[in-house]
Structure 1
Amino acid sequence: MSQSTPARVFLKGNEAVCYGAIEAGCRYYFGYPITPQSEIPALMSSELPKHGGQFLQAESEVASINMLLGASACGARAMTSSSSPGISLKQEGISYLAGSELPGLIVNISRSGPGLGGIDASQADYFQAVKGGGHGDYRMIVLAPHSVQEMYDLTMHAFDLSDRYRMPAMLLGDSLVGQMKEAIELRPRPEVELPAKDWIVTGKGGREEQRIVKSLFLGDGELEAHNRHLQAKAQALRANEVMAEEVALEDAELVLVAFGAAARIAKTAVRMAREAGLKVGMLRPITLFPFPEQHLARLAETARRFLCIELNTGQMVEDVRLAVNGRREVHFYGRPPGTGSLPTPEELYEQIRESY
């Protein structure tokens, strides 16, 4: 697909993920259909073979995450995708990926829960994604697109970050950004320098020295040293890879904080507030981990209060409060998922007026 002039096409968000993955060099996909992400395995099954890749519908979500682990250990760029209940089934495998320091992309087009829930847009998987839904003391790169263009661009970026830091990455979308259609540019993958994969497994008796990948450390002090090493990588991410969008923050007295689909609605509410003469801005975290803590800490020096907007009953708001560290009030407005439960810009504008 790489070309000097980007192609402009009309795609669903789920479709954009597929084209972004292929442009990024992904050649192996392992997954299992579940609404509202089923367009991803469907499109990958037809497109990957055209690029010399392989698609495999696994017998379960548990199998697919472990297939991703195996492909990654061999040095391949690989991915899996699912929606909330399926991502829950992948958590043990994600922990093994993190413990083994293996890259790989997991896409979650999240739906409402808990349990089977429904297929409506939800941001209730925030805790699971950014706090580590599997066992152990690990972190995972988490990117939150809010447009179809970002579904394409951030898929490529997630693969690169995952390789650079040798840890799994998640693209956390929802049924709104996954199912909506927008015109986007299929841009060539940016040229980036990545470390050599000198850790790829090799068989015993080969021409090279045998290399293995593992997450079991039983020697005296080994596991502690390994965990400290993993946390050092998380700190490096915090120092170097934070991404956030700033909207009308120059003189903002009230700062909205929203990500993904909720941020699209909040942007309109911010514009309505500005037209009414209210000094309101918005910070949109693009990386949910690493979270833009320093951005919020700086804003707390000038803004009077914050309003966190989420499609859940309150999750990211806890990280906003930690970043603000008690220096300013942090209000919350959320809508738990349900049929037709998306808030309107007018609804958010009323919340802005109450918090202002």
Structure 2
Amino acid sequence: MGEKLLMKGNEVIAEAAIRAGCRHYFGYPITPQTEIAHYMAKKMPKVGGVFLQAESEVAAINMVYGAASAGKRVMTSSSSPGISLKQEGISYASGAQLPAVVVNIMRGGPGLGGIQPSQSDYFQATKGGGHGDYRMIVLAPSSVQEMYELTVDAFNLADTYRMLAMILGDGILGQMMEVVNFRDEEPIVQADKSWATTGHGMKREHNVITSIHLDPAVLEQWNKGLQEKYRVIAEKEQRYELYRCEDAEIIIVAYGSVARIAKNVIKVAEEEGIKVGLLRPITLWPFPTKAFEQVIDKPRAFLTVEMSSGQMLEDVMLAVGGRKPVYFTGRMGGMIPQVDDIMAKIREIRAN
């Protein structure tokens, strides 16, 4: 058995990254994720790593590009407007097929918005917030324990597929404290990084890391290679939780901290004699369409609940494909969905 510690979500992400072999962190402070940088500033020098507070988010993501190009495990973190500033570098790194981990602990928007929790960056994370036809693997923890486990997974997935992986959390998860069970040893993927710019001593051809291909035919072939990789990931890496969906008449679809609220809704609904289940996407990309195929015949309807205007709703509707009604309820601007509000929507659906 490993250590069992009471820790804050943001600090757990940082500790998990170190345990996963991350030795380079570049970031810039912004609420509600600044504790990640604080933790890295304290711990990285003790493990022989590099912590650097960059002069801006733009600088930080370009430093990630450099460290990843050298084959190092590297991470950056920010919150919503800071991630927006990183989008050009995220697109560059994706175009160059560089493995790295990006953490977004979401806050309300648009613009600077507020510092309260939100899920309004779903489109940015899953549809590609920068330019070009690229994807990131997007992992959505719903507990502090998962923030640990999925951060380790993010580094392994990034190295396995040579691409960016994102941890998409929110201010609730980043700031809450829970007991975390740490493993004695992490399952570290040892990926082939013969492509990295590590110096060659004139013993091999130069490795070149770039995302620019001026010949359109070459760029198209490069893009086709990316899309083929994404198809493999979409087939192999869908992750989800099905909770009490076996005989549910309504299935809630929610991720992250909202999924925790949904489990309380299920208890309240049961007291009223209403059978409600939860389908929780853990990978937001690839979106877990296979989960819907497992349960599509069971409920009379799906209810998507988000701290946004209904961004994941579009993917839920695509996965359901018109076979069942899909409803939505949510809050914006840092407001949190309440059990009573969700129950009111469930009663409304049953009455239709």
- TM (norm. structure 1) is 0.95
Map 1:89-238 → 2, pairs under 5 A: 89-203=85-199, 206-219=202-215, 221-238=217-234
CA distance in 1, matches of 2:16, 2:158: 15
Letter in 2 for 1:345: V
Map 1:282-293 → 2, pairs under 5 A: 282-293=278-289
Letter in 1 for 2:40: M
Letter in 2 for 1:15: E
Letter in 2 for 1:350: A
Letter in 1 for 2:242: E
Provide, for residues 278-332 of structure 1, a one-character-per-residue CA deviation record: whole Å limited to 9, x for no partner.
1210100000001011211332222211000000111000000001011110000
Where does structure 2 lack aligned partners over 5 or more consecutive residues?
A: none
Provide, for residues 229-282 of structure 1, a one-character-per-residue CA deviation record: whole Å limited to 9, x for no partner.
111111111111111011101111211000001111111101211232212101
Map 1:295-314 → 2, pairs under 5 A: 295-314=291-310
Map 1:249-328 → 2, pairs under 5 A: 249-328=245-324
RMSD in angstroms over aligned alpha carbons? 1.3
SS, match of residue 118 in structure 1: coil
Letter in 2 for 1:197: K
CA contact (8 A) 1:242 1:292 kept: yes
In the alignment, structure 1 residue 70 sits paired with structure 2 residue 66: yes
Where does structure 1 lack aligned partners over 5 or more consecutive residues?
A: none
In the alignment, structure 1 residue 353 sits paired with structure 2 residue 347: yes
Q: Where does structure 1 differ by over 4 angstroms across 4 or more consecutive aligned residues?
A: 202-205
CA contact (8 A) 2:105 2:171 kept: yes
CA contact (8 A) 1:202 1:208 kept: no
SS, match of residue 306 in structure 1: strand
Check 1:220–1:205 CA distance in 2 against 1; reply closer, same or farther (3 A cut): farther
In the alignment, structure 1 residue 49 sits paired with structure 2 residue 41: no
CA contact (8 A) 1:156 1:189 kept: no
Provide, for residues 17-64 of structure 1, a one-character-per-residue CA deviation record: whole Å limited to 9, x for no partner.
011000000000000000111101011001011111010000000000
- TM (norm. structure 2) is 0.96
CA distance in 2, matches of 1:190, 1:82: 25
CA distance in 2, matches of 1:259, 1:189: 28
CA distance in 1, matches of 2:188, 2:31: 34
Check 1:57–1:193 CA distance in 2 against 1; reply closer, same or farther (3 A cut): closer
What is the deviation of 1:186?
A: 1.7
What is the deviation of 1:215?
A: 0.9
Provide, for residues 108-162 of structure 1, a one-character-per-residue CA deviation record: whole Å limited to 9, x for no partner.
0110011111011100000000000000000101001111111111100001001
1:11 counterpart residue number: 7
CA distance in 1, matches of 2:118, 2:185: 30
- The total of aligned residue pairs comes to 350
